[in-house]
Amino acid sequence: MANFGSLAKNSVRFLLNYLARSCLSGVVIYCCWISVMAYSWFTWHVILCTLGMIPLMSEALLLFASDELWSKQLTRTRKYFIHGFLMTLGTVLVTAGCIDTFYFITEGYHLYTAHGITGLVAMVLMIVSLVLGAMANYSNDLRKYARPVTFKFNHNFVGLMGYIIGIVSLCFSFYTNWFCFFTSYESRIVALVATGLGTLWTMNPALVSGFNQIKTLLQN
């Protein structure tokens, strides 16, 4: 009975992992398809930021799910390498997409919108997270400054906040003038729900890791 319960639990989590991927994949296709159909220099902002956040960063988080089949075969060191690569590439794409809008297209106007402000905050947090990630990777060498778990928690917290705020920015983008002009109300609602559902499950491994790190920090 215990084995059956464990099998049922793992099966449900496996399905939820790929349901989240399906939701987020749909959002990527939705955003990129609209961008291609309504091509201009501005559409590079949409494409680069969408691909940076999803699938790169979402996969970087799902990588550490205990029931993720493909990453289960990887060593911890290899997981860290792939995670760092995906997060770095995602941050580069998001930053390039933001530069495209902040400087070349709207000449600062974008910074006065909820989408623009949250996007800028997310970009800064992502860049800071990369620095903290490097420190977490060499946390044993930095032991004289702080406990290794402290570096790992800081990276986890800042990176997760950057991801969450980036997703919030993506949701705000569905209701910008550009999106509203090229899409229907119904399609934006579906995209919003799919983004929310996919993101909530994607954050699960980072939240579990953060909770364990907090317990470790409070023990001593």
pLDDT digit string (tens) for 80-118?
Answer: 999 999 999 999 999 999 887 776 655 556 677 899 899
The pLDDT, as a whole number, for residue 108 is 54
Helix axes 185-202, 148-173, angle to 10 degrees: 170
**For 184-201, how does the pLDDT look when each residue is reduced to its tens digit (9 = 90+)?**
999 999 999 999 999 999
Q: Which of 42, 37, 179 is nearest to 109 (CA)?
A: 42
Architecture of domain 17-219: Up-down Bundle (1.20)
> What is the rounded CA–CA span in Å between residue 122 and residue 141?
29
| pLDDT > 80? residue 10 | no
Show Cβ contacts of residue 167 under 8 Å, excluding neighbours closer than 6 positions: 53, 195, 199
Percentage of the residues of the chain whose pLDDT score is greater than 90: 60
Stated length of the chain: 220
Domain edges within the chain: 17-219
Instruction: Please give the radius of gyration of the chain, using alpha carbons only, rounded to the nearest integer.
Output: 19
Show Cβ contacts of residue 201 under 8 Å, excluding neighbours closer than 6 positions: 16, 17, 19, 20
Neighbours of 36 (CB within 10 A): 11
Show Cβ contacts of residue 187 under 8 Å, excluding neighbours closer than 6 positions: 30
Query: What number is the average pLDDT over the span 35-53?
Result: 90
> What is the rounded CA–CA span in Å between residue 211 and residue 162?
18
Q: How far is CA 140 from CA 98, 133, 143, 151, 189, in A?
A: 35, 13, 5, 10, 46
